[in-house]
Amino acid sequence: MEQHIPVLLAESIEMLNIKPTGIYVDCTLGRGGHSSEILKRLTSGKLYSIDQDPTAIEEGKARLTAISNNFEILEGNFLNLEALLSIKGVFEVDGILYDLGVSSPQFDVPERGFSYRFDGPLDMRMDPVNNLLTAAKVVNEYSEEDLKKIFWTYGDEKFAPSIARNICNSRPVNTTFELVEIIKRSMPQKELKKPKHPAKKTFQALRIFVNNEIEVLKDSLRQGLNLLKPQGRISVITFHSLEEKIVKEIFKEVTVSEQDHFLASLPIEVESNSQFRLVIKKPIKATTTELNKNRRSHSAKLWVIEKK
C-alpha cells in the first residue's frame, strides 16, 4: 500500500489561522494527517473530524489520541455537516478543512474496487453500508448513452463513446481488471503509450458518480459557510476541474453581490457588502519540493475563504 502524504499540509493549516481555543472541523479525516496538525495547535479548543469509513475512524482515533483528547470523530458523510455537529451542540465554528483527495485508507485495498492498479470487484463505494449503488451496477445496468454521459461529464474522457459501447458489448463486467481491459481496447495504440494510465479518467468518473461527490460537495460547502463565525475560514483542497468549478462558483456567489457590480463601476472605492472575502485571489499550488516528494500533489489546489 502506497504511503499517504497529506497534500498542501503546511499551507492549508496556515491558512486556517488557527486559534488555540477555537472550534475546528476536518471534513475528511482520512489517515489523519491534516487533523493531527490542527489538533497540535489547540489548547482548550476542539477538533471534530468526519469520516464515513470505519477503518479510517479506527486509525484516526489512535493517531489523534496520541496527541491530545481535544477531539471527537463523527461517523458520517460531510453532506450532513450541520446535522453531525448539531448533535454535539455545535452551531458555530472557527474553521473547516476539506481535503477532497482520494486518501481513504481503503482506497488501495483491492476488495473496495476503487483502483485500476489492483484486481477486485467493481464497488467504489465510500460508504459500503448505506450506499446501495455500486460501480458494477452502473457498468452492467446503465444504458450506453448514460455511460457515455457519465464518463464525459465526470471524467472528461474523450473516448467515452467507444468505452461505453464496448462495455455494453462485454457484459457482464465483474472486476476492475476486466473493465481496464475493455477501456484499453477502446483506445488507439498511441493513447496507451502515454504516461497516464488509460483507465484513470473512467475510474474517476465512476467513483464520482457512485458516491454523488459533486452534489455532496455543493451542499456541504454551503453548510460550512453557514457555520463559520466572523473571521472563521474554510480551506478546500481540490484535485480536478469539477471540484474547482464548484468551489469557484460558490465562493464567487458569496463574495460578489449584484450591488458589488454596481459599486465597482463607481469612480471611488467602496467596501463590498458581502459577508465573505477571498483570503487568496488565486489558489495555492504545491511547491517544487512537494511535487518531487508526493505525486498526489500535482493536481492539488488550495482555496481559502473567510467570513467577515
- Cell numbers representing residue 111 in the block: 476488495
pLDDT at position 270, please?
46
pLDDT at position 295, please?
82
244 in any annotated domain: yes
Final residue belonging to a domain, choices 210, 238, 255: 210
The answer to whether residues 289 and 229 belong to one domain is yes
The answer to whether residues 302 and 218 belong to one domain is yes
127 in any annotated domain: no
Helices (H), 47-92: 54-65, 81-87
The answer to whether residues 35 and 68 belong to one domain is yes
174 touches 121 (CB < 8 A): yes
CATH classification at residue 89: 3.40.50.150
159 in any annotated domain: yes
Q: How many domains does the chain have?
A: 2
State whether residue 210 is helix, strand or coil.
helix
Final residue belonging to a domain, choices 148, 175, 210: 210
Q: What is the pLDDT along the chain (308 residues), one digit of tens a residue?
A: 445 678 999 999 999 999 999 999 999 998 899 999 999 999 999 999 999 888 889 999 999 999 999 999 999 999 999 999 999 999 999 999 999 987 656 677 899 999 999 999 999 998 888 899 999 999 999 999 999 999 999 999 999 999 999 999 999 999 999 999 999 999 999 999 999 999 999 999 999 999 999 999 999 999 999 999 999 999 999 999 999 999 999 999 999 865 555 555 555 554 556 899 999 999 999 999 999 988 889 999 999 999 99
Single out the residue of 260, 262, 263 nearest to residue 276, CA to CA.
Answer: 260
- pTM (2 d.p.): 0.90
Query: Which structural domain range is residue 21 located in?
Result: 9-105+213-307
98 touches 70 (CB < 8 A): no
26 in any annotated domain: yes
Final residue belonging to a domain, choices 184, 210, 236: 210
Single out the residue of 27, 21, 13 nearest to residue 94, CA to CA.
Answer: 21
* Distance separating alpha carbons of residues 112 and 127, to the nearest angstrom: 10
The answer to whether residues 136 and 189 belong to one domain is yes
